[in-house]
Amino acid sequence: MSADDGDAGPADIVTEVTGTGVPVRGNDIDTDQIIPARFLKVVTFDGLGQFAFFDVRFDDEDNPKEHPFNEEQFQGASVLAVNANFGCGSSREHAPQALMRWGIDAIVGESFAEIFAGNCLALGIPTVTASQEDVEALQDFIDQNPDAEVEVDVVEEEVRYGDTVVDATVDDAQKRALVEGVWDTTALMGANADTVKETAASLPYTNV
């Protein structure tokens, strides 16, 4: 997937993502870092890719700083390797949208903030967790082998690179959604409109 293609959106079924990696190190990387608030003044998500990690990537004169997303060898990467509590902070879907439009199709991390992971799922981006040790080893590997492929296997719950196979975890609902292609919750829930009406009517506060 090229950065910023216009029709970025969930694939029907995502069983595996394979591509080169990019490591972004640090715990508690929040959504304000992933996409600063001033870039949220938009009514569509188009074009957000260029603003991913903007304030840590560019200085006041917009000159590039040292950041993996700026480095030549990581351009074209699709597997992002991060540490703990990635995506904490606001509920802005602009954050995974920016990453996706930069080119990210899967994220491997120690842990993810829940709303962020949910936002990723809605875009068909797996957020796969692994131990701190395994994630750090993966990040080191990517640093040394920026051209090597990393395979994120949602079905087997594994991350594979070089000769290494890492045990990973994919949240149950996420796995089912990705693997069975039932991520479109609007359609799923829309089919139950009558039951929804019954539930609504059974609540004491809906009829006052």
Site residues for another protein, window 123-182 (CB under 8 A)?
Answer: 123, 132, 171-173, 176-177, 180, 182
CB of 186 vs another protein, minimal distance in Å? 5
C-alpha span between 183 and 107 (Å, rounded)? 17
3-state helix, strand and coil shares in percent for the chain, rounded to the nearest 5:
40, 20, 45
CB of 193 vs another protein, minimal distance in Å? 7
State the helix-helix crossing angle for 114-122 and 94-102, rounded to 10 degrees. 50
Q: Quote the distance between the C-alpha of residue 104 and its chain's center.
A: 7
CB of 73 vs another protein, minimal distance in Å? 23
Interaction pattern, residues 6-45, with another protein; x per rule: CB under 8 A: --------------------xxx-x-xx--xxx-xxxxxx
For residue 62, is it left (φ>0), alpha (ψ between -120 and 50) or beta?
left
Contacts of 36 (CB under 8 A, 6+ apart): 51, 54, 55
Strand 127-129 vs strand 106-109: parallel, antiparallel, or unpaired? parallel
Interaction pattern, residues 104-133, with another protein; x per rule: CB under 8 A: -------x-xxx--xx--xx--------x-
Binding stretches for another protein (CB under 8 A): 26-28, 30, 32-33, 36-38, 40-45, 55-56, 83-85, 88-93, 111, 113-115, 118-119, 122-123, 132, 171-173, 176-177, 180, 182-183, 185-186, 188-190, 192-193, 195-196, 199-200, 202-206, 208
